[in-house]
A and B are shown apart, each in its own frame.
Chain A
């Protein structure tokens, strides 16, 4: 079974520039998550999709971050404009079902973002 695919693996940009990340979940997984992991911390949920609908985006900084999952499969996360504090690893995860279930989440390799 192929895992969660993410690209790019690394990205370096200057502050105020924009950046986009892509994620393709495990086949058949209805729920997709984007996490931000700052060095030395655990992953923090940014947004959760169930198919192509948003379930939870309460911790997404909506003034600069946006995400979509138009066809209920792959997803993109965008930051515009980037700030220095956005330097982190952005992790995508997927699971079979969503909020009411106990299904574990499986993570992709992440995108390491550095803001100069």
Chain B
């Protein structure tokens, strides 16, 4: 069974620090990778997608993919209290559905 694993947290970081969120997946035959942010009581919101090995930067967010080690991470620089949310990692396997992890809860403290 293809799985996506995340530490549920909470991950607590002070305001202005770098938050590092990690995700591992079980199958090498993966196609694309997504990070969604979900505020409490709200729906998931896409913040990053990454398809090839290496880093992809978008503003304060950087996604990192290492297919050989089967992990994908999300770095949030200059963390703000508004970044406090649950971050869902999702992996799209070839010819299959999008599989979500259980999410990591991030708390940015003042």
* Binary interface encoding of chain A residues 93-113 relative to chain B, with 1 for a CB under 8 A from any of its CBs, else 0: 000000110101111111010
* Binary interface encoding of chain B residues 20-39 relative to chain A, with 1 for a CB under 8 A from any of its CBs, else 0: 00000000000110101000
Contact count A vs B, C-beta below 8 Å: 48
The number of chain A residues with a CB under 8 A from chain B is 22
B97 touches A43 (CB 8 A): no
Known interface pairs A107-B45, A109-B42; A45-B31 also in contact (CB < 8 Å): no
State whether the Cβ of B96 lies closer than 8 Å to any Cβ in chain A: yes
B98 touches A105 (CB 8 A): yes
Residues from chain B with a CB closer than 8 A to the CB of A112 are 41
> Which of chain A's residues 4-46 have a Cβ closer than 8 Å to chain B?
33, 40-45
> Which of chain B's residues 59-110 have a Cβ closer than 8 Å to chain A?
88, 90, 92, 95-98, 100-103
CA distance A28 to B88 in the complex (A): 26
Q: Which of A33, A43, A99, A105 contacts B96 (CB 8 A)?
A: A99
CA distance A112 to B40 in the complex (A): 12
Where the two chains meet, the residues of A that have a C-beta atom closer than 8 Å to any C-beta of B are 33, 40-45, 48, 56, 89, 91, 99-100, 102, 104-110, 112
Where the two chains meet, the residues of B that have a C-beta atom closer than 8 Å to any C-beta of A are 4, 8, 31-32, 34, 36, 41-46, 49, 51, 88, 90, 92, 95-98, 100-103
A-B pairs, 8 with minimum CB distance: A42-B100, A107-B43, A102-B32, A45-B97, A110-B43, A107-B44, A104-B46, A42-B102
